[in-house]
């Protein structure tokens, strides 16, 4: 019943949207090369399945590696900034500035520096997705109850032990929030990196399908990317519930 | 306690010779002033405040909200330095007003936190804390997370955590303020028993005058900000004390009078 309530509304909404789209293409006399009907996309999903799958594997590898790189980098930077006021003053403005640099400009340069392989993709993905991890992790550190830190000091805890026993676990839910934002951005980053220069991946397939006049296949690639991003997000949510269950526990009291 | 301004002793009982100035386990604060700079100018939290607690003595500090009670405890615990005056105190551990238990740890691990903070290994810390949990009526709740504990249980875990810090002085900051009246009364009785078995020097900050009289050897009454001592009342009554006993009520009335709340 609860599952039905969660699954039914989006399913019905999608059906209605696809139905309207299908009707519009069929009855509106739209050129199928301009806008393929959902039926055409579904056919492409089936007929091109091995092509889509092999390219998905390439993109998935990039997103996973790049995502891990982004989380490790973002989390590490946040911890370093938390420990050093000087570092915070020096690095934080640069981090914010780094987000204003258009990836459109960076990506071709990376291509020259690092070639067409995996490396430039990972750099682009990490560049666009580490920032939400830094920001959410730092917000987590800032939200740690200062009275708790005082308490730890009266217990003679060193800075490192206070971090290990209090700040780090208290911040974990925020790190997961950052990671969830990061994976969504990482997918966009991967497609863009492939778009700039690559020989495989869903972004590459997307880029090839338009000039080949295969808009249905392009849309099928996008559909796969969407499902992949949702799946990653779902996996992270699941991991979050396993790793930090206390953040979700309802406050149920028993009698004294 | 040297007589100073409005300080007076109510009971005829002989004032204890205060040998705590040298006592290793006591607290001695003299003429401490602490001022904070705020946006609206300077606020004096404590003005020439003096307080002593002999080794093993339970001193309750009562006063209106914002009279610098928390500042006083933080100075005792070494979390703040006074602007002037002298502070001599044996090492003190704080029990905060809110329980501040860590939601990701079990009751047992929360109680053992002070040990872990000192670098004791997890298993050893648990082994040390476990028998205490049982003694504190928390047997069977070792693995329970704080969110599933009642308010009274959380306060007991919080107190145990502070006790296990192993400091001679306990600085208790309105420990039962967040509890309902019935649980609070139970917890006051409980704390009285625990301290009878496990004597420590205690500075108990509270705005509950009854709690102060029921638990403490001395009740120090503070003025509104800037906080200083207006009365130092000896409570020379046998324990356990009942809040309805006429002597308790008498001292309570005196304390309330000093707070200007008698009528």
In sequence order, what DSSP letters do the residues of B167-205 get, joined into one string? Answer: -SEEEEESTTTTS-HHHHHHHHHHHHHHHHHS--EEEEE
Give yes or no: residues B7 and B118 share one domain. Answer: no
Same domain, B11 and B84: yes
User: Is residue A19 a part of any domain in this protein?
Assistant: no
* Structural domain ending residue among the three candidates B132, B164, B196: B164
State which residues form the domain around A96: 40-245
- Mutation site for A-interface testing, chosen from B98, B104, B140, B178 by largest number of A Cβ within 10 Å: B104
Domain with residue A174: its CATH number is: 1.10.3720.10
Do B41 and B159 reside in the same domain of the chain?
A: no
Cβ–Cβ < 8 Å for A190, A203: yes
Q: Which long-range contacts (CB under 8 A, 24 or more apart) does A34-40 make?
A: A34/A215, A35/A215, A36/A215, A36/A216, A36/A219, A40/A216
Q: Are residues B119 and B153 in the same domain?
A: yes
Domain assignment present for A165: yes
Confidence at residue A155, expressed as pLDDT on a 0 to 100 scale: 93
Q: What is the mean pLDDT of residues B4-27?
A: 43
The answer to whether A255 contacts B171, with C-beta atoms less than 8 Å apart, is: no
Regarding whether B175 and B87 lie in a shared domain, the answer is yes
Chain A, nearest residue to B179 by Cα = A256
Average pLDDT, chain B: 84
User: Could you tell me if A189 and A125 are in contact, meaning their C-beta atoms sit under 8 angstroms apart?
Assistant: yes
User: A31-35, A67-71, A170-174 — which is least confidently predicted?
Assistant: A31-35
A5 part of a folded domain? no
Question: Which residues on chain A are in Cβ contact (under 8 Å) with B153?
Answer: 256
Residue A194 within a domain: yes
Same domain, B104 and B149: yes
Q: Which of A46-50, A71-75, A157-161, B241-245 has the lowest mean pLDDT?
A: B241-245
Residue B5 burial by CB count (10 A; 0-12/13-18/19+): exposed, middle or buried?
A: exposed
Q: How far apart are CA B164 and CA A155, in angstroms?
A: 9
Last residue of a domain, one of B164, B195, B219: B164
Q: B164, B186, B208 — which closes off a domain? A: B164
**pLDDT the model gives residue A249:** 62
**CATH code, domain with B6:** 3.40.50.300
- Confidence category of residue B1, pLDDT binned at 50, 70, 90: very low
Residue in B with minimal Cα distance to A165: B117
Residues B184 and B238 in one domain: yes
Measure the CA–CA gap between B92 and B203, rounded to whole angstroms: 10
B6 and B84: one domain? Answer: yes
> What's the mean pLDDT in A85-95?
90
**Is residue B86 domain-shared with residue B175, that is, in the same domain?**
yes
Domain that holds residue B143: 100-164
Q: How many domains does chain B have?
A: 2
pLDDT mean over A122-128: 92
The total domain count for chain A is 1
Least confident of A64-68, A120-124, A135-139, B181-185: B181-185
Is A231 part of a structural domain of the chain? yes
Same domain (yes/no): B173, B158: no
Q: pLDDT tens across B76-94, in order?
A: 999 999 999 999 889 999 9
**B255 versus B11: which is more confidently predicted?**
B255
How confident is residue B18, by pLDDT bands cut at 50, 70 and 90? very low
A256 domain residue, yes or no: no
Q: What is the pLDDT confidence band of residue B6, given thresholds at 50, 70 and 90?
A: very low
A50 within a domain of the structure (yes/no): yes
More confident residue, B66 or A169: A169
Distance CA A152, CA A148 (A): 6
Q: Which is nearest to A45 in space by CA: A232, A225, A235?
A: A225
With cut-offs at 50, 70 and 90, classify the pLDDT of residue B36.
confident
ipTM score for this prediction: 0.81
Q: What is the mean pLDDT of residues B31-50?
A: 87
- A197-236 residue pLDDT tens: 888 999 999 989 988 889 999 999 999 999 999 999 999 9
Is any Cβ of chain B less than 8 angstroms from the Cβ of A157?
yes
- Whether residue A31 lies inside any domain: the answer is no
- B79 and A154 within 8 Å at the Cβ level: the answer is yes
Closest-CA distance, B29 to chain A, in angstroms, reads 18
- pLDDT, residue B262, reads 57
> What pLDDT score was predicted for residue B3?
39
Tell me the average pLDDT across B118-131: 93
Same domain, B197 and B79: yes
B137 and B31 in a common domain: no
Neighbours of B242 (CB within 10 A): 12
Residue A254's pLDDT band, with cuts at 50, 70 and 90, is: very low
The predicted pLDDT at position B24 comes to 60
Residue B46 has pLDDT above 90, yes or no: no
């Amino acid at each position: 019943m609860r599952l039905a309530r969660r699954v039914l509304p989006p399913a019905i909404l999608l059906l209605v949207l696809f139905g309207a789209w299908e009707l519009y293409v069929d009855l509106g006399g739209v050129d199928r090369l301009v806008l393929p009907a959902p039926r055409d996309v579904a056919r492409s999903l089936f007929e091109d399945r091995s092509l889509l799958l092999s390219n998905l594997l390439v993109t998935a590898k990039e997103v996973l590696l790049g995502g891990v790189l982004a989380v490790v980098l973002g989390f590490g930077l946040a911890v370093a900034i938390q420990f050093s006021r000087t570092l915070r003053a020096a690095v934080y403005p640069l981090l914010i500035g780094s987000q204003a640099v258009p990836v459109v400009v960076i990506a071709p340069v990376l291509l020259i520096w690092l070639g067409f392989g995996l490396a430039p993709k990972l750099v682009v993905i990490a560049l666009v997705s580490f920032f939400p991890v830094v920001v959410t992790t730092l917000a987590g550190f800032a939200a740690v109850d200062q009275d708790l830190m005082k308490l730890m000091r009266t217990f003679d805890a060193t800075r490192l032990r206070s971090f290990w026993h209090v700040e780090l676990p208290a911040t974990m839910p925020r790190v997961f929030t950052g990671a969830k934002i990061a994976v969504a951005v990482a997918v966009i980053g991967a497609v863009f990196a492939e778009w700039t220069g690559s020989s495989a991946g869903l972004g590459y397939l997307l880029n090839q399908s338009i000039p080949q006049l295969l808009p249905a296949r392009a849309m099928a690639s996008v559909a796969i990317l969407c499902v992949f991003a949702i799946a990653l997000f779902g996996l992270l949510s699941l991991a979050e519930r396993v790793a930090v269950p206390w953040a979700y526990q309802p406050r149920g009291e028993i009698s004294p | 306690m040297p007589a100073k301004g409005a300080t007076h002793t109510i009971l005829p009982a002989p004032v204890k010779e205060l040998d705590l100035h040298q006592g290793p386990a006591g607290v001695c604060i003299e003429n401490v002033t602490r001022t904070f700079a705020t946006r609206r100018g300077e606020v004096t939290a404590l003005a020439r405040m003096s307080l002593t607690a002999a080794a093993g003595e339970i001193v309750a500090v009562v006063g209106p909200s914002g009279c610098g009670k928390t500042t006083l405890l933080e100075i005792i615990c070494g979390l703040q330095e006074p602007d002037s005056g002298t502070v001599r105190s044996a090492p003190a551990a704080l029990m905060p007003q809110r329980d501040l238990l860590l939601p990701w740890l079990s009751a047992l691990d929360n109680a053992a936190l002070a040990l872990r903070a000192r670098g004791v290994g997890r298993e050893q810390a648990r082994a040390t804390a476990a028998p205490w949990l049982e003694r504190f009526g928390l047997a069977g709740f070792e693995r329970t997370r704080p969110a599933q504990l009642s308010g009274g249980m959380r306060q007991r875990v919080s107190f145990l955590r502070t006790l296990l810090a192993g400091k001679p002085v306990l600085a208790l900051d309105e420990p039962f303020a967040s509890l309902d009246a019935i649980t609070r009364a139970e917890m006051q009785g409980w704390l009285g028993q625990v301290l009878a078995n496990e004597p420590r020097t205690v500075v108990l900050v509270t705005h509950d005058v009854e709690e102060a009289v029921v638990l403490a050897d001395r009740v120090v009454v503070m003025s509104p900000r800037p906080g200083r001592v207006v009365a130092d009342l000896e409570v020379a009554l046998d324990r356990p004390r009942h809040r309805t006993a006429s002597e308790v009520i008498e001292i309570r009335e005196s304390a309330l009078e000093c707070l200007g709340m008698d009528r």
